[in-house]
Amino acid sequence: MTQDRVFIFDTTLRDGEQSPGATMNHAEKLELAEMLDDMGVDIIEAGFPIASEGDFNAVSEISKRSKNSVICGLARANFKDIDRCAEAVRHSTQPRIHTFIGTSPLHRAIPNLTQDEMAQRIHDTVTHARNLCDNVQWSPMDATRTEYDYLCRTIEIAINAGATTINIPDTVGYTAPRESAKLISRLIYEVPGACDVIFATHCHNDLGMATANSLAAVDAGARQIECTINGLGERAGNTALEEVVMAMKVRNDIMPYRTQIDSTKIMAISRRVATVSGFAVQYNKAIVGKNAFAHESGIHQDGMLKNAETFEIMRPEDVGLTETNLVMGKHSGRAALRSKLKNLGIELADNQLNDVFVRFKNLADRKKEVFDDDLIALVRAGTADEQSDHLSLKSLRVVCGTRGPQEANLELTIEGKVHAVTAIGDGPVDATFNAVKQLYPHTAQLQLYQVNAVTEGTDAQATVNVRMEEDGKIATGQSADTDTVVASAKAYINALNRLIVRREKSAPGEDIKSVSYKDAG
């Protein structure tokens, strides 16, 4: 308890969700916020309330529901943004307004403000925010590329105007550990009033140094780390929560800092974020990658059998990883499935469980052995909602051969009516996607098509991820099936359904991507 406390600020629902294609729906945001709250995140940045009705509603609802965490909303440096943010977070017992402006020469040029004009803007907006909320965080965006003297001047103004946390963003992932530490220690030492506020670090991972830069900043005196689950975020992403938390835990001898994160909840939330964002975790990702605790080489296995510490610096159970063992067969019941999923950190509502149960039975009929990873893939594949989905797969038969073209006979239910077509293509997947397009003409472009085998063996399930883009809107779709082409068709249809929902919901100008940083005034 004598160790320095480091606050964990999670921005998966704001900076993470801003990642193209990672859009989450309302229910998914509430569910993730509950998991973040439950695992001990100190501050949840729940969204950017001015960006859309959807963001506003999510921040408001999370503010109402959250039990332990401070709930924070983002606002640009103008009164309208700040008012909207205050309105959304006011339901929280611990609300925070986070307002920011780009202070580097490149960012100052966007709203075309002089240094003096920007200084005045910072004073006015932070004062306004502080009049609405006692807990105000201020960020000089692109701080690491801002002239040092001007950075000090703006921070001093923000502190005097009432900011309680000063966040130093490395917006483009440009800094390096030594420089990150030097900047934080100089600011804390040299800016008047710095000792009365918390300094935060917010790093992007463009050069792969986000975790190192965040930890270096903490060594230099920062006491809040801004991060996301799985490092989700624009471009190369943000600092990964699981990495900084586990680094401070495992190497507490040299980083004697304390967080209140329950690390055994890490795997469950990592899986859930991967599912709802559609961004699969790379196999060799630190802490949460599929291979992070796998020891396949003979030498490693031998060492592990003699003493787990030979190659393991942390125990799988420390991050909530349960052993991948054989699970139930086709005779297992609903209660067994519920309990198995609970063990894997997945809790489902009754109707979701029913849906997964049907698909589990279906899979158990076709696949000899159903493993933990198969169950995770089933849940991740999402639940088809016959009532609200515009399109759903009715049947698919593909004719393949050494000589193309391949042929797909497809039946698709569109708005409740079944339509059928035969289409050809360069391979079975191409033929299937062409068939969907013939029955449901659209202009969406396929940006990503990715197939992975869930487990070993020729009867393994394939998980398919699809990303589509239409008029600047991006949607991802996922599915899993022992038949790769069926999984592909379902993932494609899933992405189209999400695009249709996005088309219907976002009125022009309401989408987060159209909220430009330029509109600071």
CA–CA separation, 368 and 327 (whole Å): 11
Binding partner of residue 259 among Zn ion, ligand KIV, none, CB under 5 to 8 Å per kind?
Answer: none
> Taking CB under 6 A as the rule, does residue 202 contact ligand KIV?
yes
Nearest residue to ligand KIV, by Cβ distance, number only? 169
By CB under 5 A, name the binding residues for Zn ion. 15
> Taking CB under 6 A as the rule, does residue 141 contact ligand KIV?
yes
How near is the Cβ of 18 to ligand KIV at its closest, in Å? 8
| CA-wise closest residue to 469 among 486, 491, 446 | 446
Q: What are phi and psi of 284, to 5 degrees?
A: -100, 25
CB burial of 396-433 (b: ≥16 within 10 Å; e: otherwise) equals bebeeeeeeebbbbbebbeeeeeeeeebebeebbbbbb
> Taking CB under 6 A as the rule, does residue 15 contact ligand KIV?
yes
CA–CA separation, 472 and 474 (whole Å): 6
Which residue number, 171 or 213, has a Cβ lying nearer to ligand KIV? 171
Q: What's the token pair of residue 13?
A: 């629902």
> Taking CB under 6 A as the rule, does residue 139 contact ligand KIV?
yes
Residues 6 or more apart whose Cβ sits within 8 Å of residue 336: 328
CA–CA separation, 93 and 29 (whole Å): 19
Kindly tell me which residue out of 47, 95, 169, 477 binds ligand KIV, with binding defined by CB under 6 A.
169
Q: What's the token pair of residue 243?
A: 């990495």
Q: What's the token pair of residue 372?
A: 């933990």
For residue 387, with 0-12 CB atoms within 10 Å meaning exposed, 13-18 middle and 19 or more buried, which class applies? exposed
494: amino acid identity, one letter: N
How near is the Cβ of 54 to ligand KIV at its closest, in Å? 19
> Taking CB under 6 A as the rule, does residue 199 contact ligand KIV?
no
How near is the Cβ of 466 to Zn ion at its closest, in Å? 27
135: amino acid identity, one letter: N
In this structure, are residues 475 and 500 in contact, taking their beta carbons and an 8 Å threshold? no
Which residue number, 45 or 373, has a Cβ lying nearer to Zn ion? 45
> Taking CB under 6 A as the rule, does residue 156 contact ligand KIV?
no
Kindly tell me which residue out of 9, 56, 100, 492 binds ligand KIV, with binding defined by CB under 6 A.
100
Binding mask 307-336 for ligand KIV (x = CB under 6 A): ------------------------------
Q: What's the token pair of residue 321?
A: 């990883």
Which residue number, 184 or 462, has a Cβ lying nearer to Zn ion? 184
| CA-wise closest residue to 6 among 206, 186, 184, 189 | 184
Strands 406-414 and 417-425 come out as: antiparallel
How near is the Cβ of 11 to Zn ion at its closest, in Å? 7
CB atoms within 10 A of CB 2: 5
How near is the Cβ of 226 to ligand KIV at its closest, in Å? 7
Interface of this chain with ligand KIV, residues 216 to 235, rule: CB under 6 A = none
How near is the Cβ of 15 to Zn ion at its closest, in Å? 4
Which residue number, 14 or 285, has a Cβ lying nearer to Zn ion? 14
Which residue number, 73 or 169, has a Cβ lying nearer to ligand KIV? 169
In this structure, are residues 492 and 38 in contact, taking their beta carbons and an 8 Å threshold? no
Strands 406-414 and 391-399 come out as: antiparallel
Nearest residue to Zn ion, by Cβ distance, number only? 15
Kindly tell me which residue out of 63, 92, 171, 277 binds ligand KIV, with binding defined by CB under 6 A.
171
Which residue number, 156 or 234, has a Cβ lying nearer to Zn ion? 234
How near is the Cβ of 102 to ligand KIV at its closest, in Å? 8
How near is the Cβ of 128 to ligand KIV at its closest, in Å? 18
Binding partner of residue 100 among Zn ion, ligand KIV, none, CB under 5 to 8 Å per kind?
Answer: ligand KIV
Which residue number, 15 or 407, has a Cβ lying nearer to Zn ion? 15
In this structure, are residues 378 and 337 in contact, taking their beta carbons and an 8 Å threshold? no
| CA-wise closest residue to 165 among 29, 42, 35 | 42
How near is the Cβ of 221 to ligand KIV at its closest, in Å? 19
Which residue number, 153 or 204, has a Cβ lying nearer to ligand KIV? 204
How near is the Cβ of 64 to Zn ion at its closest, in Å? 26
Q: Which residues make up the interface to ligand KIV (CB under 6 A)?
A: 15, 100, 139, 141, 169, 171, 202, 204
